[in-house]
Structure 1
Amino acid sequence: MRQATLEEEEAAAAWGRETQLVEASAPHADEYESPNDLGFWRVDIEDQAAFICNELDLSDEQALYLLNALGLLPEGAALPDFRGQPEGQQQYEQELEQQQEQDASQRPSGSMDEVEEPVLRDALESWQDMSDEDEDHRPSTSQQQMRQIMNNPEFGYQPGDNGGQGEEYDYYDESNGNGRQDYSASSSQSAMVLASAGGSFQVSIKPNISEAKPSGHKVAPGVPALKYDQSSFDREYEVIHLRVVGRRASTAAAMGEEIELVPGKLIAGRYQVLEQVGAAAFSRAVQAYDTLERRLVCLKVVKNDKECMDACLEEVRLLQLINSRDPRDENHVARLYDYFYHLGHLFLVVELLGGNLFDTQCYDPSYFTPGRMQSIARQVLQALAFLHANQVIHADIKPENILVKNYTKCSVKVIDLGCSIYNSEAHLSHYVQSRSYRAPEVMLGLPYDGRIDIWSLGCVMAELATGQVLFPNVSEAAMMARLVGMLGELPPYMLQEGQYAGAFFTKSGRVYERDAESGLFQLLAPKRTTLQARLASPDRGMLHFIRHLLVADPSKRPTAEQALRHPWLQYRYRSPK
């Protein structure tokens, strides 16, 4: 007992020292006027044209387009009129102008155009005369003359080439106006013949027809047939066997686009609908009774849409993989029992859990004591560490995707892998995560990994502690301004390397946004505050843990395994929780 107390004291001292260091380096001023303050001031920009040309990372074409669209480009004006010129640029332009005037004064009488015009005109007339002469002496394109040209050894054609047979080509015969005649030649020969018949312009392309052809079976000319390799297939691919359940003598088309889920309805002859428990953009969830296994389950009915179907089939693949690698159900990820296609819809049968953390926060905010929040954080981190160890990024951690399994024991599970991706695919998409829980590297268009889930968890923990969304979903620019005011300036490399950084930050590092109504640009001046001021919790350990997760620089943000070793998660709260 004494040993446990000493460990608790050492853990408390450790995070206490770290908290003091963080608070010493953070700004203490709190300029928020209310808990619902957005966290920034909107500052109007007087000289919009100068701002567009000098502060935004735009090409000349983009800057001109914006200036014209906003009516800021006076007649006769150019971009240099708005952009700041480098030192010495004006003097250089003046000297260049003087030099041009001096050269003009020394030019012989008669302008350059007047001197060169007769020469150009004579050259043009000479070229036209040559064209007419070529037209008069163009060889006749009769079939007999064409054969004679093709039989000429100079063109490399030998009778009997190509086995005495060639591809059929046709050409235009001027003698009859619209008649077409055929001749036999290979590809290279036809190119040379047509070039010769056209006069002075000649193109000769002769492919290597003696190239060795692959041996063995062929599926097309020159394409060898591959052999099926089962071991390679098993190594690179995985298969899900989707059962299609349909009522006899009936089609899914007769059911319409949406299936009716009324209490008592029997789905696929097995699952009896009891009540609806939730709905999302892509699916509906109902509580059902499995008449075969005699247990309550959650029936997830996917919207009849290709995009939704594709996402849920990927979720099936991931759940099968994750569940198979967690046979004892120790890593707090929802279990998939069954899946099938029925009446035009994809059904997922998963374990029945309780309400999500968002609904629990709405109905009973007092439930989230520091002890319970510690338990939730530990379980979610264990789930994330397990997913990340299997190279899977959840990419949508939010209160709605964390469900309570047992309210008394405060056990939770992570659900909804429909947006999850593999680490190797992280560079393919920058539209992941719900916006209020979206990591800064995702918004800026930087490479990312599983640590984006750690950022999302930090936002969830702050929301559970206060009942307020930490970064309200106003706009990404507004979120950036609030983030800077709360956590400090972003590292320069994130603004320099971020693919989308120019959409939120000026060249000088200020946050800006374009007004949707007027189309004019505004600066978003961040209000200074601290995470401690926003959370206002007496539990210093929990505050430090949340601050530990919400590190804007992804290279300094902990992984799930590292976060699990935070001293606050080792601290034991006395009962009651």
Structure 2
Amino acid sequence: METQWVAEHPHVTMDKRPRKRPRLTWDVPPPLPPTRVIPTLYCGQEVVNGASTNHWLHSCYYTGVPRPASPPWRADDKDGHYVFAVGETLSPRYKILSKMGEGTFGQVLECLDLEKMETVAIKIVRSLQKYREAAMIEIDVLQRLAIADISGARYVQIRNWFDYRNHICIVFEKLGPSLYDFLRRNSYRSFPIDLVRELGRQLLESVAFMHDLRLIHTDLKPENILLVSSECIKVPDCKFVTRSAKDGSFFKNLPKSSAIKLIDFGSTTFEHQDHSYVVSTRHYRAPEVILGLGWNYPCDLWSVGCILVELCSGEALFQTHENLEHLAMMERVLGPLPQHMVVRADRRAEKYFRRGPRLDWPEGATSSESVRAVYKLPRLENLVMQHVDHSAGDLIDLLQGLLRYDPTERLKAQEALRHPFFIRDRRRYGYSFMH
């Protein structure tokens, strides 16, 4: 969960992404083969078609091979993370195979479901109360989505959940890497525009579906969009065609399938709930959130616009860690902020402006490095043209609709899906590696 509560407990980890990401090589390890283990019974909250079924401990009986013993009790680490060892069981039902990731919420482990003999991903939430509460919200949202989305094609599917040693554990289907991880492991090389079109279409369909259910995700970012499959293919990189074939830069990896699913609903909010606190991870945060004007469905669409730019370029559009610099980057890429939004900014945001609606920039910059980071950004049109060959005009027009400052004028998800970028020449420019 990436929600930042203003008064109570701001997250210092939300803005940790470096301004310039380290360049890494493709390093996806081969999947671990499942170990043949005798199935055992486990009592928890089994989720079937979105509904949970209670299995109480006193009603469970097991006959046959004894089930694995629970690991020794250990104290959580200083941050409330569960301490584990690979090979142990997480409850008698799940054998820990590896660690898949870690975030502010807790950890994600790859586990073998000993009852169904399938590999799953288990999100182990930190034992702190605010994260436990967010986990219960996520479970509620996931079950609502599972009921509404019968196909199960838009969102990660919840399999089970249970409370283990004061940690809420949510069992998910195991999917492929996130779009961010794919970019990172591929040295941040951009996706071809036809793949961006397919990913964007699916993302907007998922957002539109949530909005129809009166749900706002509030934390859309490449880390929270997972490819369904880990399979990839190696293709020539047109940006490096002049290099020797012996140079690894001559090739880049692309997903074999463009199918994606949304994850992380711990900060998802209903339309009728309080919308006064700060939401979204820094790089994808809408201007109305920074200015303290309140937020609603349009904040998700701003995030979608930032994501599409990142998929086309390989780099986050606004790589910043501070509000004033963030607003200066917006003005550099998109033009000046509307005066009617500036004059309505709350007291905490007034300090970012001087002489009326003028942004206090570069006078208020914290460093010369910050000024240079803003100055080097191109206008949105030029940025897209640097990375996109065909469809650039349509994409620029779509992004200008998604990245409108005024949330009341921003494209809605359904409107964006009807944009020419998604419907013009779709047959001609389909992503050829889709399965």
**CA pair 543-242 structure 1, distance change in 2 beyond 3 A:** farther
Aligned partner of residue 532 in structure 1, secondary structure: helix
Q: In 2, Cα distance between the equivalents of 1:448 and 1:358?
A: 25
Residue 477, structure 1, aligned to residue 299, structure 2: no
Which is richer in helix?
Answer: 1
Partner of 2:415: 562
The Cα of 1:253 is off from its aligned counterpart by 10
Counterpart for residue 212 of structure 2: 389
Residues 565-576 of structure 1: pairs in structure 2 closer than 5 A? 565-570=418-423, 571-572=425-426, 573=429, 576=432
2:340 pairs with one of 493, 496, 506? 493
**Aligned counterparts of 2:87 and 2:416: Cα–Cα separation in 1:** 46
Query: Deviation per CA, 1:420-444, whole angstroms, max 9, x where unpaired?
Result: 11111243x3310011110001111
**Partner secondary structure for residue 180 of structure 2:** helix
Alignment of 1:188-203 (within 5 A): none
Match of 2:379 in 1: 530
Deviation of 1:486 after TM superposition, in Å, equals: 1.6
Q: How many residues align?
A: 333
Query: Structure 1: which 5+ runs fail to align?
Result: 1-34, 37-238
2:104 equivalent to 1:255: no
**AA at the equivalent of 1:255:** R
Within-5 A mapping of 1:456-467: 456-467=303-314
Show the counterpart of 2:246. Answer: none
Give matches, 1:265-414, under 5 Å. 265-330=88-153, 332-364=154-186, 365-366=188-189, 368-406=191-229, 407-414=255-262
Q: Does structure 1 conserve the Cα–Cα contact (< 8 Å) formed by 2:324 and 2:365?
A: no
| Change in 2 beyond 3 A, CA 1:252/1:561 | same
Inter-partner Cα distance in structure 1 for 2:163 and 2:55: 6
> Are 1:424 and 2:272 an aligned pair?
yes
User: Deviations along 1:293-324, whole A, 9 cap, x unmatched?
Assistant: 22211111111111111111111111111111
Which aligned pairs between 1:31-430 and structure 2 lie closer than 5 A?
254-257=73-76, 258-330=81-153, 332-364=154-186, 365-366=188-189, 368-406=191-229, 407-427=255-275, 429-430=276-277
Q: Deviations over 1:264-304 (max 9, x none)?
A: 22222111111111111111111111122222111111111
Q: 1:245 to 1:263 in 2, by over 3 A?
A: farther
Distance 1:436 1:366 in 2: 19
Contact 2:343 2:357 in 1 (8 A): no
**1:478 Cα offset (Å):** 0.5
Q: For the Cα contact (< 8 Å) 1:285–1:300, is it kept in 2? A: yes
What is the deviation of 1:251?
11
Q: TM-score, normalised by structure 1?
A: 0.53
CA contact 2:395–2:421 (8 Å) conserved in 1:
yes
1:376 Cα offset (Å): 0.6
555-564 vs 482-491, greater mean Cα deviation: 482-491
Candidates 358, 372, 384, aligned match of 1:510: 358
Which residue number corresponds to residue 70 of structure 1?
none
Render the CA deviation track for 1:350-374: whole Å, top value 9, x for unaligned: 1111111111011224571111111
- Asked if 1 retains the 8 angstrom alpha-carbon contact of 2:70 and 2:91, the reply is no
SS at match of 2:317: coil
Q: Tell me by how many angstroms 1:554 deviates.
A: 1.0
- Asked if 2 retains the 8 angstrom alpha-carbon contact of 1:245 and 1:343, the reply is no
* 8 Å contact from structure 2 (residues 329, 374) kept in 1: no
**How has the CA–CA distance of structure 1 residues 344 and 527 changed in structure 2, closer, same or farther, with 3 Å as cutoff?**
closer
Q: Could you tell me which amino acid in structure 2 is paired with residue 281 of structure 1?
A: T
Which amino acid in structure 2 is aligned with residue 370 of structure 1?
I
In the alignment, residue 271 of structure 2 is paired with which amino acid?
Answer: N
Deviations 1:510-550 (A, max 9, x none): 22275669xxxx9x997884102223132313333233321
Question: CA 1:400–1:525 in structure 2 vs 1: closer, same or farther (change >3 Å)?
Answer: closer
The residue type equivalent to 1:306 in the other structure is Q
Q: Is 1:391–1:423's contact at 8 Å kept on the other side of the alignment? A: yes
Larger Rg: 1
RMSD over aligned Cα, in angstroms?
3.1
**Separation of aligned partners in 2, 1:259 and 1:561:** 41
* 1:560/1:265 CA distance change after superposition, 3 Å: same
Match of 1:553 in 2: 406
Task: State the identity as a percent.
Answer: 28
| Matches of 1:574 and 1:299, distance apart in 2 | 34
Unaligned runs of 5+ in 2: 1-18, 21-50, 59-66, 230-254
Residue 233 of structure 2: aligned partner: none
Structure 1 residue 241 displacement after superposition: 8.2
Query: What is the CA deviation profile of residues 180-203 of structure 1, one whole-angstrom value per residue up to 9, with x for unaligned ones?
Result: xxxxxxxxxxxxxxxxxxxxxxxx
Matches within 5 A, 1:446-457: 446-457=293-304
